[in-house]
Structure 1
Amino acid sequence: MSISDNESMISPEGHRSGFACFVGRPNAGKSTLTNALVGSKVAITSDKPQTTRHAIRGIVHRDDAQLVIVDTPGLHRPRTLLGQRLNDVVRETWAEVDVIGLCVPANEKVGPGDKFIANELSKVAKRTPVIGVVTKTDLAKPEQVAEQLVALQDVMEFAELVPVSAVDGFQVNTLADLFVARLPEGPQLYPGGELTDEPEATLVAELIREAALDGVRDELPHSIAVAVEEMGPREGRDDLVDIYAFLYVERSSQKGIVLGHHGERLKKVGAEARRHIEALLGSKVYLNLHIKVAKDWQRDPKQLRRLGF
């Protein structure tokens, strides 16, 4: 994995540094948990499955360690070329990290998808420890959480099992401790204060997509992609950033859904995205959004490359 040029940073003796990743089926709470550990929003979240499309890295700074969390797309049965490529991202990531967290929600029965992923992970568990993470405990009764922990013991042999809630912070620090204990000793990999190594334009595009996902029909989320075409400070002003971005959909009929009646929905998406982007950049933002149709882009290798997949 690429790191910054700061490998020579002085760190106290016994300092640990390395990579952990979350894997799980779509909508298992991986992105919300990543944000909770980092203490800031580095990964977008949505109740729509397969929201995450990149391996997003969030950096946890501690006196005794620097833990880099890699949030991966949900592993799933792919129906498109995009789906296949997202699964490839997951497998490439878990082959490179020091410790893996398999996320399974507390409020849903362990299913075939969880068992499939656990079976895949059992192939790497001999060299890379796998921690079973029961997520969303705030949505389950204590007896449900206990049942889920027992059920997971039958799925594979974990290095540890831990129930957590990213929403109320339950055992988030405990999970960080379990990850850190399995990292090698070493100096900081990133400068202090850095929360992610994602380019700002990538984070901006993701925040726009998060806003666009809110309230759309179930069949639409997978068809939405966002590309930032231009981004930079406005000439003569250091307090305003101009951003020009395209929202891509696959069919003309979807364009109308995203646009909304008299463009009202797109205005709402722009306002919501701008609020989060201004918090990210610490600056006022002018956001110009346009919708484009890229026919069946999820299945087209050329268009996938152009959109960064």
Structure 2
Amino acid sequence: MSDFRSGFVAIVGRPNVGKSTLINALVGSKIAITSHHPNTTRSAIRGIVHGDNFQAVLVDTPGVHKPKTLLGHRLNAVVDQSMDSVDVVILCIPADETSGAGDVYIAQEIAKHPRAKKFAVITKTDLLSKEKLALRLTGIMELAQGFTWDEIIPVSAAIHDQIDLLNSLIGAALPTGPAYYPEGTTSDQAIEQLICEFIREAALQDVREELPHSIVVTIDEFGEREEKGSRPFYDVHATIHVERDTQRAILLGHQGTRLKEIGIRARADIERALVAKIFLGLHIKVSKEWQRDARMLDKLGFEERR
């Protein structure tokens, strides 16, 4: 089809502004984990949007922040690299917060990519009155220094307000090109990566503020059982890494009750993603100061980007 459009879209913004929630709404299924804790996203996760005459590959990036650890520096590098060679950059800005130095810095970084169309998406509009939202829009226009926003769109992923409009605007902004993925594909993440993320999301629920950044998950074993039933059956064994013994105790809970709850929550999401039954075995390991250890970061999949 000669008028079919396709391309890549980077979703950027400060931590905890609704990037992952927006991507899940645009894709129409859960491919990125969400949490009220900042910096939940740690990799450039790709979601695939299939329109009537377009296909958009969405890249969910970590929140840009002032890094305090080597991991933080590497996460910021993921964002910078994600904005290279994309067709559209979407800056997510929450409706219920005022813009500060963080949004200004990201807008300046966006200006360094003149080829890409630039969208400002105001998220969480269900939390604000229409009068206050109008004032917020004025401030967002002023963020564009050295460029002009191609689109400014208020949305609410929570109530699916203007999500379809945003999808159509993204499609119209893409260049003519072929579909990169088969119809029905929602993400190009390896299933092992998705499993790790679902386990981490379950572990993040209701934990104290200092713990979320210290949690990372790795897969030890993943395989399908030979016996065949009505649905496939997989065995998954994974390790939840933390940095200190006290953090291990928090996740374990009294007589292992909290770890059991984590397993129950994660298994439900994994089974939905795999359309299969699974056995999920979890254990917790103390990997001291892994966020500051270059060799450990490489081992955990946070390689330095050059």
Normalised TM-score (structure 1): 0.94
Aligned residue number for residue 209 of structure 1: 200
Q: Percent identity?
A: 52
Stretches (4+) displaced over 4 A: none
* CA distance in 2: counterparts of 1:177 and 1:236, whole angstroms: 45
Superposed displacement of residue 134, structure 1 = 0.3
User: Which of the numbers 98, 110, 120 marks the counterpart of 1:121?
Assistant: 110
User: Which of the numbers 230, 233, 243 marks the counterpart of 1:250?
Assistant: 243
Pairing 1:38-53 to 2, within 5 Å after superposition: 38-53=27-42
Superposed displacement of residue 141, structure 1 = 1.2
Aligned residue number for residue 8 of structure 2: 19
Which amino acid in the other structure matches residue 234 of structure 2? V
Aligned residue number for residue 272 of structure 1: 265
1:147 aligns with 2:135: yes
Aligned residue number for residue 220 of structure 1: 211
Superposed displacement of residue 185, structure 1 = 0.4
Superposed displacement of residue 271, structure 1 = 0.2
SS in structure 2 at match of 1:17: strand
Aligned residue number for residue 9 of structure 1: none
Superposed displacement of residue 132, structure 1 = 0.6
Superposed displacement of residue 178, structure 1 = 1.7
* CA distance in 2: counterparts of 1:305 and 1:174, whole angstroms: 40
Structure 2, unaligned runs of 5 or more:
none
Superposed displacement of residue 187, structure 1 = 1.1
Residues 181-212 of structure 1: CA deviation (Å, up to 9, x unaligned): 12110111111111111000000000000000
Aligned residue number for residue 5 of structure 1: none
User: Which of the numbers 256, 263, 284 marks the counterpart of 1:263?
Assistant: 256
Pairing 1:166-245 to 2, within 5 Å after superposition: 166-237=157-228, 239-245=232-238
Which amino acid in the other structure matches residue 235 of structure 1? E
Aligned residue number for residue 308 of structure 1: 301
1:91 aligns with 2:80: yes
* CA distance in 1: counterparts of 2:123 and 2:76, whole angstroms: 21
Aligned-CA RMSD value: 0.9
Structure 1, unaligned runs of 5 or more:
1-11
Superposed displacement of residue 96, structure 1 = 2.2
Normalised TM-score (structure 2): 0.95
Task: Between 177-186 and 70-79, report the one with greater CA deviation.
Answer: 177-186
Superposed displacement of residue 129, structure 1 = 1.6
Which amino acid in the other structure matches residue 140 of structure 1? L
* CA distance in 1: counterparts of 2:291 and 2:120, whole angstroms: 32
